[in-house]
Chain A
Amino acid sequence: MKMISAFAFGLIFGLGIAISGMIDPAKVLNFFDFAGTWDPSLAFVMGGALVVTAIGYRIVLKAPHPAFANSFSIPTRRDIDLRLVGGAATFGIGWGLSGFCPGGVVPALGIGRVEPWVFIGAVIAGMLVANYVESWRLRSAHPA
């Protein structure tokens, strides 16, 4: 049952990405091109998603626990550190070069073209490098 619900919610997400235009790198890049071929559509994606999520979270987080889990898993940190800001700044550079963000490219994998698969490979390579560098740093800082 958990698997079916997770699949269904992923399907809704992917359909939303496809309908909204977030799936198309050309459209994403045009949103950021204020000095050129500006397409403001993605502001409406963000607006629609934020309104529904902000209202919906207020309602569902009143429940004692999620339907299929014992507790809500919500990040609790509030500090803004260099790692967060530096990472976000880096992500933006990659997004601006390519037009794909992780949420945009995963549904694009289902279109049947090769570019999204190449891109997700590059993203996963970057994530693996970051993961292994960090686990190596943790190990050398705290040897067992």
Chain B
Amino acid sequence: MTEFTPFLSALGGALIGLSAVLLMAVHGRIAGVTGILGGLLPPKIADDWAWRAAFLAGMICGPLAYALITGGMPKIDVPVSVPMFLIGGFIVGIGVSYGSGCTSGHGVCGMARVSPRSIAATVTFMATTTVTVFLVRHVFGL
């Protein structure tokens, strides 16, 4: 079980939205983590790699800011086996490359623009995630 946190979750979501709006207002860019990270990878490292690296570095410092405010690091729990975790990561990498985005780029920025591609992508990955979790937990009992 995890605790239902509607207020903190909505507040955190609003901060994610604020970041996306500021990145658009100041840099003119979509706050999609797949796209930002993808520009740092070969074979085509983007010319504008510097802001991408700075944004990701800021993200990594997010828990530190959280700790300064609350007095402790956010707690995480990885309730899956090591092989499933590794395979999951590899599949995420393949999927977001071909799908041109993930939860942030399609699910937040694209949906906010009412982009048909992002709506299709978001509906699709929410559905396959739900089915995957159901199969893993309730059919295979892993």
Known contacts A34-B130, A93-B95; is-contact A56 B27 (Cβ 8 Å): no
**Bound-complex Cα distance A82 to B45 (A):** 26
Q: Which residue of A lies closest to B111 (CB)?
A: A50
- For A24, give its contact among B25, B74, B98 (CB under 8 Å): B74
Q: Which residue of A lies closest to B124 (CB)?
A: A88
Q: Are B62 and A110 in contact (CB under 8 A)?
A: yes
Q: Is the interface of A mostly helix, strand, loop or mixed?
A: helix
Q: Are A102 and B96 in contact (CB under 8 A)?
A: yes
Q: Are A88 and B120 in contact (CB under 8 A)?
A: yes
Q: Are A100 and B13 in contact (CB under 8 A)?
A: no
Q: Are B16 and A16 in contact (CB under 8 A)?
A: yes
Q: Are B117 and A8 in contact (CB under 8 A)?
A: no
Q: Are A99 and B80 in contact (CB under 8 A)?
A: yes
B-contact 0/1 string along A64-76, CB 8 Å cutoff? 0111110111110
Total B residues in contact with A, Cβ cutoff 8 Å: 111
Contacts of A34 in B (CB 8 A): 130, 134
Q: Are B20 and A56 in contact (CB under 8 A)?
A: yes
Q: Are B116 and A111 in contact (CB under 8 A)?
A: no
Q: How far is the CB of A3 from chain B (nearest CB, A)?
A: 5
Lowest 8 A-B CB distances belong to which pairs? A14-B62, A126-B93, A20-B12, A10-B58, A87-B99, A96-B132, A48-B13, A122-B89
Interface residues of A (CB under 8 A from B): 2-27, 29-30, 32-37, 39-42, 44-54, 56-57, 59-61, 63, 65-69, 71-75, 77-80, 83-104, 106-113, 115-116, 118-132, 134-135
11 pairs of residues in contact across A and B, judged by CB atoms under 8 Å: A14-B65, A15-B66, A19-B74, A26-B2, A33-B134, A89-B124, A90-B95, A95-B132, A97-B132, A126-B91, A130-B98
